[in-house]
Amino acid sequence: MNANAATLERLRWKKFPVLDDGFVCLVDAMGDDAAVVQAARVSYQAGTRAVSDDRTLIRYLMRHRHTTPFEMAEVKLLVRVPMDCWRQWIRHRTASINETSTRYSIAIDASQTTPPDRWRLQAASNRQGSEGFLDAQAGAEFSAEEAALQQHAKAAYRKRLERGIAREQARKDLPLSTYTEAYWKIDLHNLLHFLELRMDALAQREIRDYAGAIGREIVRPLFPLVWEAFEDYRLHALDLSRLEQEVVGRLAAAGKLPADEEAFLAACGADWKNLPRCRERDECRAKLVRLGLIREV
Ligand SMILES: Cc1cc2nc3c(=O)[nH]c(=O)nc-3n(C[C@H](O)[C@H](O)[C@H](O)COP(=O)(O)OP(=O)(O)OC[C@H]3O[C@@H](n4cnc5c(N)ncnc54)[C@H](O)[C@@H]3O)c2cc1C
């Protein structure tokens, strides 16, 4: 048994818990780091082996956004996810999916619940995001209300089924917190794309938890060299647009690095300078803070 086969057997059917009742679970995988390398080398026959070892080649492919070598590997998962989170998940069209049917079967009798100290507050700056938590005392009211709503919806669903109402119609008022299960199969290239988007700080907390579990618990051990390159060149990389490079250039030329807010604003191009609000300028500032080129106030 080679190292990857042993890893596959160790991981297969192991449920990695996510949220209060969800999980991700590896069903099967095809390929490994070597499969990516093998596919890339077919272009050059054996010619590249002398100049680049596997790790170097994978890092080159990732850095230069080659795609098809990573499509040679595939991962099949079984996932258990609340329906609201699943709704975001299935926007990724490049996977093959089979989901539990609540027309054929009775819906899973589990809903995601929110502890009193986990109600997130609406972010002020990002309309799609959240920041901070409601205090637990206030949150207790919402958690109790959540439990009552879920109970009520489940009772109505069960009553409809008991009266012989079709499952396809009885389900219509089940809350989006209801868990669903699905097989989800995707090639490694598109999986990394999913992980890049859904492990990002801008993704919603719940799907971020799933993406983190898939990435760290499954992809990393199965594809260690690919994962390392993915972390270095995609997950923790930072792109600088032409406009952003010009800001850094102006700050450097003026000897203003690290910059304060005034110097940063002065170095911004005409497009950004005079706007009261500018998301692109905010994103540029955040990147320069991350690089230590702007002093945080
Ligand atoms: C933080 C965040 C916020 C979001 N907010 C919203 C929102 O407010 N509203 C909303 O509707 N969606 C939202 N989305 C969903 C987002 O717009 C994408 O639909 C989703 O992330 C899937 O991305 P994708 O199309 O790149 O992935 P996939 O569907 O997996 O596709 C992978 C790649 O394949 C290619 N591809 C796939 N299908 C086609 C096609 N038919 N034609 C051409 N190329 C194709 C594209 O290059 C694509 O990037 C959000 C996503 C994120 C991560």
pLDDT in tens, 271-280: 898 888 899 9
Same domain for 63 and 207, yes or no, is yes
Same domain, 286 and 246: yes
Tell which atom from ligand 1 comes closest to the C-alpha of 202. 1
75 in the same domain as 10: yes
Residues 61 and 121 in one domain: no
Residue 250 belongs to some domain of the structure: yes
Give a yes or no: residue 109 inside a domain: no
pLDDT, residue 285, reads: 95
- Picking from 215, 235, 255, the residue at the C-terminal end of a domain is 235
Q: Which atom of ligand 1 is nearest to the CA of 203?
A: 1
| Cα-based torsion angle of the residue sequence 218, 183, 13, 24 in order, rounded to the nearest 10 degrees | 50
Query: 33 is written with which tokens?
Result: 């780091």
Q: What percentage of residues in the chain have a pLDDT greater than 90?
A: 88
- The pTM score is 0.94
User: 54-63 vs 33-41: helix axis angle to the nearest 10?
Assistant: 80
Q: Verify that 169 and 181 share a domain, yes or no.
A: no
Q: Which pLDDT score, from 0 to 100, does residue 274 have?
A: 83
- 153 and 20 belong to one structural domain: no
- Cβ neighbours for 19, distance < 8 A, ≥ 6 positions apart: 82, 85, 112, 206, 209
- The residue whose CA is least distant from atom 39 of ligand 1 is 93
Residue 110 lies in a domain: no
The runs of H, that is alpha helices, within 53-135 are: 54-63, 68-71, 83-89
Ligand 1 and 193: CB distance under 6 A: yes
The domain total for the chain is: 3
- Beta-carbon contacts of 72 under 8 Å, excluding residues fewer than 6 positions away, are 31, 35, 36, 38, 39, 187, 188
Q: Are residues 52 and 194 in the same domain?
A: yes
pLDDT at 51: 47
Q: Evaluate whether residue 111 is within a structural domain.
A: no
141, 56: one domain: no
Over residues 121-140, mean pLDDT: 90
Where in the chain does DSSP place strands (E)?
15-18, 22-30, 74-82, 96-99, 120-122, 130-133, 179-187
Task: Give the number of other CB atoms < 10 A from CB of residue 224.
Answer: 17
Compute the average pLDDT of residues 125-132.
85
Region 158-174 average pLDDT: 98
Per-residue confidence (pLDDT) for residue 297, from 0 to 100: 66
Task: Answer yes or no: is 255 within a domain.
Answer: yes
Residue whose Cα lies nearest atom 53 of ligand 1: it is 197
Ligand 1 contact, 240 CB (< 6 A): no
**Distance (Å) from CA 202 to ligand 1 centroid:** 14
Examine residue 295 and state whether it is found in any structural domain, yes or no. Answer: no
| Same structural domain, 152 and 260 | no
The vertex-103 CA angle with 100 and 104, nearest 5°, equals: 70
Could you tell me if 120 and 257 lie in one domain? Answer: no
296 lies in some domain: no
pLDDT digits over 17-29, tens only?
999 999 999 999 9
Q: Residue 255 sits in which domain range? A: 242-290
Residues 162 and 136 in one domain: yes
Whether the CB of 93 sits within 6 Å of ligand 1: yes
The pLDDT value recorded for residue 273 is 84
Q: Is the pLDDT of residue 47 over 60?
A: no
Residue 48's pLDDT is 52
The answer to whether position 297 is within a domain reads: no
The pLDDT assigned to 197 comes to: 98
CB atoms within 10 A of CB 132: 10
- Identify the residue whose C-alpha is closest to ligand 1 atom 8: 128
Average pLDDT over residues 122-131: 86
Task: Enter the tokens of residue 241.
Answer: 């647009």
- Cα 73 from Cα 131, distance rounded (Å): 37
227 touches 220 (CB < 8 A): yes
Closest among 97, 100, 118 to 109, alpha carbons compared: 100
What are the pLDDT digits (tens) for 242-280? 999 999 999 999 999 999 999 999 999 888 988 888 999
Residues 142 and 284 placed together within one structural domain of the fold: no
- Indicate the Cα dihedral angle 214, 218, 219, 225, nearest 10°: 140
Mean pLDDT of 200-225: 97
Q: In 10 A of CB 73, how many CB atoms?
A: 23
Section 63-71 average pLDDT: 97
Tell me what the pLDDT averaged over the chain comes to: 94
The predicted pLDDT at position 87 comes to: 98
Q: What would the pLDDT profile of 96-108 be if each residue is shown by its tens digit?
A: 999 999 999 999 9
Give the SS3 label for residue 283.
Answer: helix
Question: Is the Cβ–Cβ distance between 251 and 293 less than 8 Å?
Answer: yes
